Amino acid sequence: MDLCAPGGLSGAGQAAKQGQGWPQAWRVRVEHFPLQIAFARPNRTLAVSLTGARCALQCAHCGGHYLRGMLAIEDCTAARAAEATSCLISGGCDERGRVPVRAHLDQVRALRQGRILNWHVGMVDEEDVRAIAPCVDVISFDFLVDDETIREVYGLDYTGADYVHTYEMLRRHATVVPHLTVGLRGGRVCGEYRALQALRDIGLPALVVLVLIPTADTRYAHAQPPAIDEVAEFVATARCALPDVPIYLGCMRPGGRYRQELDDLAVQAGVNKIVNPAPSAINRATELGLSIAWESECCVIQRP
């Protein structure tokens, strides 16, 4: 299958809207996975920022907005972390796109006790990864290969090859789950299929698919998210391209009617897990004969 451009499942989006399903993607899912789907409400994962609300990049899609919903590491007392069984360790980036992962490492070590840690690290170097490795269970890495998207969204002077190199380096030290955001460049699909191709060639333990959320007070505040059919077709293409790889529809995607329609199609397209699913996904899973497993942590966290 040529993944460098959409169309590997030509007409699939329209077929799904007409209720005909996603026969190829669904068939691959049934052949390679049990008839079970996971739905996650990650209320037992504490989101911790190593930089508070500070970020040097002020990216077009975020502008530091999402850091404000995290707990600053300085405020992460034992009492506030008591109910958490896992933590997302993240933060804003410096001017080179790196999360300062060594900051507050003693406090992170304390959080590690009895908890699984999922890290967002950005474009860190290998020395930093070695330093934090004893505290890492899994790394979530935003993966993209389109040079123009990197410059426009992040304002970084990196290329897609730099992202490939960093991903390969991280894989030498930890389990790394790549995240692909459909429509990241202002709602346009630019390079997502090439990124999928690269990941298939390199290898991956799981894939998280996200969708641009136009967010107030950012440069993309007035953008439109990608068409639902475009996202659903990307998911179906990923399912066929990665038959043995779990695919998750992550928490970052628009809400409301958009989520209702997308989540329904994502179930039909063969995803293995959806974070904060719309009722339509639950109903569709039941109709398709899938048993449901409920989870309470970040989607990349795997427990025995």
Question: What is d(CA 125, CA 18) in angstroms, rounded to the nearest whole number?
Answer: 48
The lowest-confidence range among 37-41, 80-84, 255-259 is 80-84
| Residues 113, 118: Cα–Cα separation, whole Å | 14
Query: What's the pLDDT score for residue 23?
Result: 85
Confidence of residue 58 (pLDDT cuts 50, 70, 90): confident
Q: Is the pLDDT of residue 49 over 70?
A: yes
Residue 13 has a pLDDT of 39
Q: Which two tokens stand for residue 193?
A: 């299929």
CATH number for the segment(s) 20-295: 3.20.20.70
What does the alpha-carbon distance between residue 176 and residue 150 come to, in Å, rounded to a whole number?
Answer: 20
What pLDDT does 304 receive? 74
Per-residue confidence band for 14, with pLDDT thresholds at 50, 70 and 90: very low
- Residue 267 near residue 288, CB atoms below 8 Å: yes
Taking only the tens place, the pLDDT of each residue in 65-75 is 788 899 999 99
Are 209 and 251 contacting, i.e. CB atoms less than 8 angstroms apart? Answer: no
Joined together, the tokens standing for residue 285 give: 């899973």
Q: Rounded mean pLDDT of 95-105?
A: 94
pLDDT digits (tens, 9 = 90+) for 277-289: 999 999 999 999 9
Q: What percent of the chain has pLDDT over 90?
A: 83
Maximum CA pair distance of the chain? 55
Band (pLDDT 50/70/90 cuts) for residue 3 is low
